[in-house]
Amino acid sequence: MKNRYYQKVKKYFDKKASAYDDVDTQLYWVLSDCFFKEILKREIPKYFKNKKKIKILDAGAGTGRWTLFFYELFRHKYHISGHLIDLSEKMLAVAKEKIVKKNLRDKFSLEVGNIEEMNRINDNEFDLSLSFYNVISFVENPPKALKEIYKKLKRRGLHISIVANKYHAYYFAILTNRLKEIKMIKKHSKVRFNDNMPYIHCFTPCELKKLYQQAGFRKVYIIGGPNFIYPGMEETFIHGNTKNIQNKLKDKDNFNKILEVEINAYRNNDIVGRGNVIMALAQK
């Protein structure tokens, strides 16, 4: 791999691969996952009313967490199969291990590759593409990646992504006293949440919607979230928990109350820019 940026990205994720799924022990990210799973449960049936089968392209699959989350959420409603592609062999090795363990080898295939150039994947092949947790933020050329994903989707196919929110990037830089990041956010729309990670793209809700429209997507719906509770610096590392967040969320009743508030408000357009991250649901 000659591209220096992608060498950094690959190295970053290769190093995290064996422990990446330990994020499931961080209560903030557990709540965030519950929030986005609930959105999928509510939104997906609207796009696939007459479908019995869904073929997924997980573009930036990592350890396969979200393909497998999706499978568990909808396996009784749809016949689900798909293809996982990621830059990091080590992340995909974890995904393969989980797929084998769950006896899903006949449903999901895997490929090491760059989602900006998915030449070995057929066009107009997939009903749904997922790019969860900052995949589009980590690619070098987001417009190119979205156009490539667009080509792989069938007519009326859906791409769902979660990306870094520029407004939250400003907030987090100020919260954590990383004020040097403000210039980078303002000038280049890029941010690092800690010094160990590469710079990634961040977007406002309007910028993200425009990016999808320019890639050819007809309908684009933007959601922010979680909107009322945010991660601290500790949550930017795999094994970190900010004490006050941990204390709030370790009580099951508090966890459920906060999650209920988040879910009840997710369709409120007034707060979309508040989200820790922003989600796009974009239809071809």
**80-100 average pLDDT score:** 98
Tell me 198's DSSP state: P
Averaged over 154-176, what is the pLDDT? 97
* 207: amino acid identity, one letter: E
- Mention every residue, 6+ apart, whose C-beta is less than 8 A from residue 184: 190, 191, 192, 199
Residues 94-111 have pLDDT tens digits of 999 999 999 999 999 999
Average pLDDT, the chain: 96
pLDDT at 2 > cutoff 90: no
Question: Which pLDDT score, from 0 to 100, does residue 94 have?
Answer: 98
Neighbours of 142 (CB within 10 A): 23
* pLDDT for position 3: 87
Q: Note whether 56 and 70 are within 8 A (CB).
A: yes
Quick one: average pLDDT of 151-157?
98
DSSP string, 58-79: EET-TTSHHHHHHHHHHTTTSE
Alpha-carbon span 96 to 105, nearest angstrom: 8
Q: Is the pLDDT of residue 1 over 80?
A: no
Q: Domain span at residue 208?
A: 4-283
pLDDT in tens, 241-265: 999 999 999 999 999 999 999 999 9
Which of 10, 18, 1 shows the shortest CA–CA distance to 93?
18
Instruction: Check pLDDT > 80 for residue 268.
Output: yes
Q: Decide if 172 contacts 194 (C-beta within 8 A).
A: no
> The domain that contains 78 carries what CATH number?
3.40.50.150
Q: Count up the domains in the chain and report the number.
A: 1
Q: What is the pLDDT of residues 188-241, one digit of tens each?
A: 999 999 999 999 999 999 999 999 999 999 999 999 999 999 999 999 999 989
- Per cent of the chain over pLDDT 90 is 98
